[in-house]
Structure 1
């Protein structure tokens, strides 16, 4: 069955064992996408979408000049004036562009892909994850495969959509004994292949690289090994939310041109520092992108989000983004060294290779080298509730007993966190 909206192509599919029409659920292949008002016309006297022709109704509070609008903090107290004119001057009373070709073109150029037809935009990566599960995996009959410890939304989306989960835990290599990182996490390729051989109902394989919470890349060689494995007829999804914090050339986006059975997810939340605007990205060959586009909500990316994304993808903003990444890498190295210096208080060496903007580190039992999840929880809660320093407890994840995940902050953030962590470890 052809994919609706996709022009016929005579280009052979690679790898030869993959056929996307055998992966997408038949009801999705047959889906005629909703035709929204802006699909056909976006200019002129627009009387087609039942919009409010008088414009938006956002006015500044009394006593605030029209060019200023208060920004609320988490406690809903007005503490900062913020100029919202650029946002309020947008056509907020009109439905947004359903496709955003300019943003897609800039992303394709940035990631080395030939056209915007290789790019899909979602409401964060979470929408992409949910769409992939919905379009590929039949509820009650088929499965996804995940590699714990990994991002928690994969099993959540699976459960919401009533699909099964196969787990192949990452392998943690032994401590190198040289004072460096405590081993590294790696994909057990042979175990993944055995799982595929044992269960033909696996339709999606989610690989988080750099991993969350592992902070470690999965090698392109390992990813290729799964993509090339003939018995697997599904799609490999590589989640690269943290890819910009790793070394250049590490991204699986370089494989998209050669593999129709690959989808690479990225986001503006991390390296771009735009978590609040909720813009996720899928990079894949046009057939899968077209199916995602056919299935998404008609206007999933808002006009303010699109406006800010375009600004973020400008040359000047990209320079700022790259400069911030370098600052984070320097801070990451310094924080890692400072955390190692707390080893005498029962803090272990960081786990994994540091390819993200956080560090995964175990809390040990006092006077031993054994990871202690109970103590780690006490440290985590004391830091948050008594010292106002919030890290993430990950001790219940596979391969991460006693672990805390600490995001690399500003120099001042890191200094405060280290001081509070030292005092907390001394007393707990």
Structure 2
């Protein structure tokens, strides 16, 4: 094909693995794409009269008084938002100007934190969901090509595939035999040989999505298993590792350590989980520069807002990283405490946890009242009763492979966990 990737500096370094050629993975129309030139791509200082912005600035008025009744806005169905000097740092930003399209400072910090050689290995998106959608749009031809997923897994892979008219091949994770009808603890694992068989049987698979730690399994996929698929010569596409929860797992378990070695690897991360910044919607793709350049050429011109970028850069400072790591340790300790408390509810029909504990949530099955087996009906009743009568919202996952009767419960604050346990015990006693 040899069309080249627009904006990418040619490299003399051989591509590894040798069977991978990114120009044969990317759709020809994407390779031929000339991206939209942003106003800030050329000049970012001076008297800026080029982008049809409002030169007078934003129109957000400061409140004249400090009376709570006049300074609060209702957001998210009733939450109070105080409109006062807390907003001053955000209002002082150039909100009337389009944001920086590239955000080099954020990318440099992420590259440094994750041990990558340069910001050329980092792409920023509006949450990981934008990265998922972009990868499908640039790699997978609608109506004729496919992705591979490993249920139970994150639901947006299938949603994006349907939106993009992309086929789906499913290779379910294996749940160890120890998780029987009695609800004994089981472990999920990737069936590498079955993934290989799927690849051998369908050459139209362009992307493989692996969630590690898994959602809802909370289980890491071993780097050895990931390597095996990356090295599998019949697969010419890209392996995507979704590491939204990686900071809650053991150090050294991230697939980012493989990026220097594999051009056919893309690792997704986010500021939503360990950094506690779900509201700013900042997702991250980490890969070798050719794929990053393709994503950059294809994304919307100003996809990351100035307020989001401002908060992200603050979150990536050394001081904030220290705070984030303390929060992680607190959540991990709370996770361990919840596991112990859940064990004490087994006489009420709560089973042993399923999967590993590598994320900020726990997947646990609800049994029949007589503990005779996993009970989807009772699990759904517990879920609905907790939400509608007790004000505790967990996630029902009983409809997913290997998750019969399961609830996914996020680790909350110490107070939230105590209340949730009390309400869960009450509900199990009733139903």
Distance, in Å, in 2 between the alignment partners of 1:281 and 1:124 is: 7
Is 1:318 aligned to 2:321, yes or no? yes
Is 1:269 aligned to 2:272, yes or no? yes
Give the conservation status (yes or no) of the 8 Å contact 2:123–2:292: yes
Distance, in Å, in 2 between the alignment partners of 1:69 and 1:5 is: 48
User: 1:46 is matched with which residue?
Assistant: 48
Is 1:127 aligned to 2:123, yes or no? no
Distance, in Å, in 1 between the alignment partners of 2:372 and 2:244 is: 32
Could you tell me how far 1:366 is from its partner in structure 2?
1.2
Higher mean alpha-carbon deviation, 167-176 vs 185-194, is at 167-176
Pairing 1:10-409 to 2, within 5 Å after superposition: 10-64=12-66, 70=72, 72-76=74-78, 78=80, 80=82, 82=84, 83-175=86-178, 182-409=185-412
Distance, in Å, in 1 between the alignment partners of 2:165 and 2:151 is: 20
The 3 A distance-change label for structure 1 pair 54 and 81 is: closer
Could you tell me how far 1:327 is from its partner in structure 2?
0.2
Distance, in Å, in 2 between the alignment partners of 1:294 and 1:366 is: 56
The 3 A distance-change label for structure 1 pair 95 and 11 is: same
Give the conservation status (yes or no) of the 8 Å contact 2:383–2:393: yes
Could you tell me how far 1:70 is from its partner in structure 2?
3.5
Question: Helix, strand or coil for the counterpart of 2:409?
Answer: strand
Q: Which runs of 4+ in 1 moved over 6 A?
A: none
Post-superposition Cα deviations, 1:99-148, rounded to whole Å, max 9, x if no partner, equal: 00000000000000000000000000000000000000000000000000
Q: Which ranges of structure 1 fall in alignment gaps of 5 or more residues? A: none
Distance, in Å, in 1 between the alignment partners of 2:179 and 2:139 is: 41
Question: Helix, strand or coil for the counterpart of 1:400?
Answer: coil
Question: Structure 2 length normalisation: TM-score?
Answer: 0.96
Distance, in Å, in 1 between the alignment partners of 2:411 and 2:292 is: 34
Distance, in Å, in 2 between the alignment partners of 1:183 and 1:373 is: 17
Q: Which ranges of structure 2 fall in alignment gaps of 5 or more residues? A: none
Could you tell me how far 1:370 is from its partner in structure 2?
1.1
Distance, in Å, in 1 between the alignment partners of 2:305 and 2:223 is: 34
Question: Structure 1 length normalisation: TM-score?
Answer: 0.97
Give the conservation status (yes or no) of the 8 Å contact 1:150–1:212: yes
Distance, in Å, in 2 between the alignment partners of 1:14 and 1:336 is: 42
Distance, in Å, in 1 between the alignment partners of 2:389 and 2:80 is: 25
The 3 A distance-change label for structure 1 pair 318 and 225 is: same
Give the conservation status (yes or no) of the 8 Å contact 1:373–1:403: yes
Distance, in Å, in 1 between the alignment partners of 2:125 and 2:131 is: 6
Post-superposition Cα deviations, 1:15-57, rounded to whole Å, max 9, x if no partner, equal: 0000000000000000000001000100000000000000000
Aligned-CA RMSD value: 1.6
Distance, in Å, in 1 between the alignment partners of 2:6 and 2:399 is: 44
**How many equivalent pairs are there?**
425
Distance, in Å, in 1 between the alignment partners of 2:332 and 2:73 is: 31
